[in-house]
Amino acid sequence: MTPAIRATGAPDAQAAAAFIRGRVEGDWAAPVAGIVLGSGLGGLAQQLEQALPIPFSHIPGFPVATVAGHAGQVLLGRLAGKPVVMLAGRFHMYEGHPASLAAFPVRVLHALGAPVYIASNAAGGVRRTFAPGDLMLIADHINLMFRNPLIGPTEPGDERFPDMSDPYDPALRALMREAASAVGVSLQDGVYCGLLGPTYETPAEVRMLERLGADAVGMSTVPEVIMARAIGMRVVAVSCITNKAAGLSAERLSHAEVMEAGKAAGGQFEALITEFVRRLP
Protein backbone atom coordinates (compact mmCIF):
# COMPACT_ATOMS: atom_id res chain seq x y z
CA MET A 1 0.00 0.00 0.00
CA THR A 2 1.32 3.45 -0.86
CA PRO A 3 1.84 5.56 2.29
CA ALA A 4 -0.50 8.51 2.70
CA ILE A 5 0.91 11.82 1.49
CA ARG A 6 1.79 13.99 4.47
CA ALA A 7 2.18 17.73 4.92
CA THR A 8 5.80 18.56 4.19
CA GLY A 9 6.01 22.36 4.02
CA ALA A 10 7.96 24.92 6.00
CA PRO A 11 5.21 25.40 8.66
CA ASP A 12 5.10 21.62 9.16
CA ALA A 13 8.86 21.62 9.68
CA GLN A 14 8.52 24.33 12.31
CA ALA A 15 5.90 22.23 14.11
CA ALA A 16 8.15 19.15 14.05
CA ALA A 17 11.11 21.20 15.29
CA ALA A 18 9.01 22.65 18.12
CA PHE A 19 8.03 19.12 19.18
CA ILE A 20 11.68 18.03 19.20
CA ARG A 21 12.83 21.08 21.16
CA GLY A 22 10.05 20.40 23.64
CA ARG A 23 11.65 17.05 24.50
CA VAL A 24 14.87 18.73 25.63
CA GLU A 25 15.30 19.51 29.31
CA GLY A 26 17.19 22.71 30.11
CA ASP A 27 18.46 25.28 27.64
CA TRP A 28 18.23 24.52 23.93
CA ALA A 29 21.62 24.51 22.18
CA ALA A 30 21.25 24.93 18.42
CA PRO A 31 23.12 22.16 16.58
CA VAL A 32 26.26 22.99 14.60
CA ALA A 33 25.18 20.37 12.05
CA GLY A 34 22.47 17.92 11.12
CA ILE A 35 23.74 14.47 10.17
CA VAL A 36 21.92 11.66 8.36
CA LEU A 37 23.26 8.13 8.78
CA GLY A 38 22.99 5.86 5.74
CA SER A 39 22.56 2.08 5.60
CA GLY A 40 25.09 0.31 7.80
CA LEU A 41 26.53 3.59 9.11
CA GLY A 42 24.38 3.93 12.21
CA GLY A 43 27.29 3.20 14.56
CA LEU A 44 28.09 6.90 14.74
CA ALA A 45 25.00 7.33 16.90
CA GLN A 46 26.80 5.36 19.61
CA GLN A 47 29.42 8.11 19.77
CA LEU A 48 26.88 10.73 20.86
CA GLU A 49 27.24 12.12 24.36
CA GLN A 50 24.09 12.96 26.34
CA ALA A 51 22.07 11.29 23.60
CA LEU A 52 18.32 11.82 23.49
CA PRO A 53 16.59 9.50 20.98
CA ILE A 54 13.15 10.34 19.59
CA PRO A 55 11.44 7.75 17.36
CA PHE A 56 10.35 9.00 13.94
CA SER A 57 6.83 7.77 14.70
CA HIS A 58 6.52 10.30 17.56
CA ILE A 59 7.44 13.35 15.46
CA PRO A 60 4.68 15.23 13.61
CA GLY A 61 4.96 14.65 9.86
CA PHE A 62 7.45 11.78 10.10
CA PRO A 63 6.44 8.29 8.87
CA VAL A 64 7.94 5.11 10.28
CA ALA A 65 11.26 4.01 8.76
CA THR A 66 10.81 0.66 6.98
CA VAL A 67 14.28 -0.14 5.63
CA ALA A 68 16.56 -2.60 7.45
CA GLY A 69 19.55 -0.80 8.87
CA HIS A 70 17.64 2.42 9.50
CA ALA A 71 16.84 2.76 13.21
CA GLY A 72 14.18 5.39 12.56
CA GLN A 73 15.18 7.89 15.23
CA VAL A 74 16.14 11.51 15.62
CA LEU A 75 18.98 11.77 18.13
CA LEU A 76 20.04 14.92 19.94
CA GLY A 77 23.41 15.02 21.65
CA ARG A 78 27.01 16.12 21.45
CA LEU A 79 29.67 14.86 19.09
CA ALA A 80 33.25 15.96 19.70
CA GLY A 81 31.76 18.18 22.39
CA LYS A 82 29.49 20.07 19.99
CA PRO A 83 25.69 19.90 19.77
CA VAL A 84 24.39 17.98 16.76
CA VAL A 85 21.17 16.37 15.64
CA MET A 86 21.28 13.00 13.87
CA LEU A 87 18.80 11.18 11.70
CA ALA A 88 19.32 7.46 12.18
CA GLY A 89 17.57 6.57 8.95
CA ARG A 90 15.81 8.42 6.15
CA PHE A 91 12.71 8.25 3.94
CA HIS A 92 13.17 6.90 0.41
CA MET A 93 11.01 7.49 -2.60
CA TYR A 94 11.06 3.77 -3.36
CA GLU A 95 9.01 3.31 -0.18
CA GLY A 96 6.24 5.22 -1.92
CA HIS A 97 7.05 8.64 -0.46
CA PRO A 98 7.03 11.79 -2.61
CA ALA A 99 10.29 13.69 -3.05
CA SER A 100 9.02 16.42 -0.74
CA LEU A 101 8.73 13.91 2.13
CA ALA A 102 12.12 12.35 1.36
CA ALA A 103 13.56 15.85 1.83
CA PHE A 104 11.29 16.91 4.72
CA PRO A 105 13.74 15.97 7.53
CA VAL A 106 16.20 18.48 6.07
CA ARG A 107 13.59 21.19 6.56
CA VAL A 108 13.28 20.08 10.18
CA LEU A 109 17.06 20.17 10.73
CA HIS A 110 17.09 23.70 9.35
CA ALA A 111 14.17 24.68 11.60
CA LEU A 112 16.17 23.34 14.55
CA GLY A 113 18.94 25.79 13.67
CA ALA A 114 21.47 23.53 11.93
CA PRO A 115 23.42 25.55 9.32
CA VAL A 116 25.26 22.50 7.89
CA TYR A 117 23.84 19.27 6.48
CA ILE A 118 26.14 16.23 6.60
CA ALA A 119 24.74 13.45 4.42
CA SER A 120 26.00 9.88 4.27
CA ASN A 121 24.87 6.94 2.21
CA ALA A 122 25.70 3.45 1.06
CA ALA A 123 26.52 3.36 -2.65
CA GLY A 124 27.57 0.97 -5.36
CA GLY A 125 30.96 1.61 -6.88
CA VAL A 126 30.75 2.51 -10.58
CA ARG A 127 34.36 3.63 -10.79
CA ARG A 128 36.25 0.44 -11.51
CA THR A 129 39.04 1.15 -9.02
CA PHE A 130 36.61 1.39 -6.09
CA ALA A 131 36.48 -1.48 -3.58
CA PRO A 132 33.96 -2.21 -0.82
CA GLY A 133 34.77 -0.12 2.23
CA ASP A 134 36.11 2.89 0.33
CA LEU A 135 34.80 6.29 1.40
CA MET A 136 33.97 8.85 -1.30
CA LEU A 137 33.56 12.57 -0.68
CA ILE A 138 30.76 13.64 -3.03
CA ALA A 139 31.89 16.43 -5.34
CA ASP A 140 28.70 16.59 -7.43
CA HIS A 141 25.66 14.53 -8.29
CA ILE A 142 23.49 13.43 -11.21
CA ASN A 143 19.74 13.30 -10.58
CA LEU A 144 18.36 10.32 -12.50
CA MET A 145 15.50 9.99 -10.03
CA PHE A 146 13.68 12.50 -12.24
CA ARG A 147 11.98 13.88 -9.12
CA ASN A 148 12.48 17.20 -7.35
CA PRO A 149 11.24 18.06 -3.83
CA LEU A 150 10.68 21.71 -4.79
CA ILE A 151 7.93 21.03 -7.34
CA GLY A 152 4.77 22.88 -6.35
CA PRO A 153 4.12 26.22 -4.67
CA THR A 154 7.19 27.94 -3.25
CA GLU A 155 7.36 27.55 0.52
CA PRO A 156 8.14 30.55 2.77
CA GLY A 157 11.91 31.03 2.89
CA ASP A 158 12.64 28.73 -0.07
CA GLU A 159 14.56 29.88 -3.11
CA ARG A 160 12.45 29.20 -6.20
CA PHE A 161 15.41 28.46 -8.50
CA PRO A 162 18.36 27.41 -6.32
CA ASP A 163 21.80 27.50 -7.92
CA MET A 164 23.23 23.96 -8.12
CA SER A 165 26.63 24.83 -9.59
CA ASP A 166 28.23 23.94 -6.23
CA PRO A 167 25.70 21.82 -4.32
CA TYR A 168 28.44 20.37 -2.12
CA ASP A 169 30.14 23.27 -0.35
CA PRO A 170 33.81 23.62 -1.47
CA ALA A 171 34.99 24.92 1.91
CA LEU A 172 33.29 22.07 3.77
CA ARG A 173 34.74 19.55 1.36
CA ALA A 174 38.21 20.97 2.04
CA LEU A 175 37.53 20.72 5.77
CA MET A 176 36.45 17.08 5.34
CA ARG A 177 39.70 16.31 3.53
CA GLU A 178 41.65 17.94 6.37
CA ALA A 179 39.72 15.81 8.85
CA ALA A 180 40.46 12.66 6.82
CA SER A 181 44.16 13.46 6.80
CA ALA A 182 44.17 14.12 10.54
CA VAL A 183 42.65 10.72 11.41
CA GLY A 184 44.41 8.73 8.69
CA VAL A 185 41.32 7.93 6.62
CA SER A 186 41.68 7.51 2.86
CA LEU A 187 39.03 9.62 1.15
CA GLN A 188 38.23 9.51 -2.57
CA ASP A 189 36.43 12.24 -4.54
CA GLY A 190 33.64 11.47 -6.99
CA VAL A 191 30.22 12.03 -8.52
CA TYR A 192 27.16 10.36 -6.98
CA CYS A 193 24.21 9.36 -9.15
CA GLY A 194 20.78 9.02 -7.57
CA LEU A 195 18.28 6.49 -8.99
CA LEU A 196 14.82 5.67 -7.67
CA GLY A 197 15.37 1.99 -6.88
CA PRO A 198 14.48 -0.26 -5.18
CA THR A 199 16.10 -2.58 -7.74
CA TYR A 200 19.84 -2.58 -8.10
CA GLU A 201 21.07 -1.48 -11.51
CA THR A 202 21.56 -3.82 -14.45
CA PRO A 203 25.05 -4.20 -15.95
CA ALA A 204 23.87 -2.19 -18.98
CA GLU A 205 22.66 0.61 -16.72
CA VAL A 206 25.98 0.63 -14.90
CA ARG A 207 27.84 0.96 -18.21
CA MET A 208 25.55 3.90 -19.03
CA LEU A 209 26.26 5.54 -15.67
CA GLU A 210 29.98 5.11 -16.21
CA ARG A 211 29.73 6.89 -19.55
CA LEU A 212 27.68 9.69 -17.97
CA GLY A 213 30.45 10.39 -15.46
CA ALA A 214 29.09 8.76 -12.30
CA ASP A 215 31.53 7.24 -9.84
CA ALA A 216 28.95 5.81 -7.41
CA VAL A 217 25.24 5.09 -7.50
CA GLY A 218 22.56 4.96 -4.82
CA MET A 219 18.89 5.53 -4.02
CA SER A 220 18.91 8.56 -1.72
CA THR A 221 20.58 11.90 -0.85
CA VAL A 222 19.79 13.88 -4.00
CA PRO A 223 16.35 15.19 -2.88
CA GLU A 224 17.82 16.11 0.50
CA VAL A 225 20.66 18.09 -1.04
CA ILE A 226 18.30 19.96 -3.36
CA MET A 227 16.17 20.92 -0.38
CA ALA A 228 19.16 21.98 1.69
CA ARG A 229 20.35 24.29 -1.05
CA ALA A 230 16.88 25.80 -1.51
CA ILE A 231 16.66 26.74 2.18
CA GLY A 232 20.23 27.97 2.50
CA MET A 233 21.99 25.11 4.27
CA ARG A 234 25.59 24.25 3.43
CA VAL A 235 26.08 20.61 2.42
CA VAL A 236 28.84 18.03 2.60
CA ALA A 237 28.30 14.33 1.88
CA VAL A 238 30.19 11.04 2.06
CA SER A 239 29.36 7.76 0.33
CA CYS A 240 30.46 4.42 1.71
CA ILE A 241 31.17 2.15 -1.26
CA THR A 242 29.58 -1.10 -0.18
CA ASN A 243 29.90 -3.13 -3.38
CA LYS A 244 31.04 -3.00 -6.95
CA ALA A 245 28.08 -2.11 -9.16
CA ALA A 246 26.42 -4.84 -11.24
CA GLY A 247 28.58 -6.28 -14.00
CA LEU A 248 31.87 -5.15 -12.40
CA SER A 249 32.24 -8.29 -10.31
CA ALA A 250 30.85 -11.81 -10.23
CA GLU A 251 29.13 -11.21 -6.87
CA ARG A 252 25.34 -11.04 -6.61
CA LEU A 253 24.05 -7.90 -4.90
CA SER A 254 21.96 -7.90 -1.73
CA HIS A 255 20.97 -5.46 0.99
CA ALA A 256 22.62 -7.76 3.55
CA GLU A 257 25.92 -7.30 1.71
CA VAL A 258 25.43 -3.54 1.73
CA MET A 259 24.80 -3.60 5.48
CA GLU A 260 27.86 -5.70 6.22
CA ALA A 261 30.16 -3.53 4.13
CA GLY A 262 28.79 -0.40 5.80
CA LYS A 263 29.46 -1.82 9.23
CA ALA A 264 32.97 -2.87 8.19
CA ALA A 265 33.75 0.71 7.15
CA GLY A 266 31.96 2.12 10.18
CA GLY A 267 35.05 2.78 12.26
CA GLN A 268 36.69 4.94 9.62
CA PHE A 269 33.43 6.74 8.89
CA GLU A 270 32.86 7.48 12.57
CA ALA A 271 36.39 8.81 13.03
CA LEU A 272 36.07 10.98 9.92
CA ILE A 273 32.73 12.60 10.81
CA THR A 274 33.69 13.09 14.47
CA GLU A 275 36.87 14.89 13.47
CA PHE A 276 35.01 16.94 10.89
CA VAL A 277 32.47 18.10 13.48
CA ARG A 278 35.33 18.91 15.87
CA ARG A 279 36.70 21.29 13.24
CA LEU A 280 33.40 23.03 12.50
CA PRO A 281 33.34 26.64 13.74
Active site residue 122: yes
Active site residue 57: no
Active site residue 220: yes
Number of H helices, E strands in the chain: 8, 9
SS3 state at 124: strand
Catalytic residue among 17, 33, 92, 102: 92
Active site residue 110: no
Cβ(196)–Cβ(93) below 8 Å? yes
Active site residue 70: yes
Catalytic residue among 243, 261, 270, 275: 243
Catalytic residue among 10, 139, 255, 257: 255
Active site residue 243: yes
Amino acid letter for position 134: D
Beta-strand runs (E) in 111-168:
116-125, 135-143
Catalytic residue among 13, 88, 95, 141: 95
Active site residue 93: no
Catalytic residue among 33, 65, 70, 176: 70
Rounded-to-integer distance, Cα 249 and Cα 87, Å: 32
- For residue 219, CA distances in Å to 7, 140, 277 come to 23, 15, 25
Catalytic residue among 100, 121, 220, 239: 220
Catalytic residue among 13, 17, 39, 210: 39
Rounded-to-integer distance, Cα 260 and Cα 41, Å: 10
Burial class (CB in 10 A: 0-12, 13-18, 19+), 225: buried
Catalytic residue among 71, 94, 139, 249: 94
Catalytic residue among 16, 17, 102, 219: 219
Active site residue 92: yes
Active site residue 95: yes
Catalytic residues: 39, 70, 92, 94-95, 122, 219-220, 243, 255
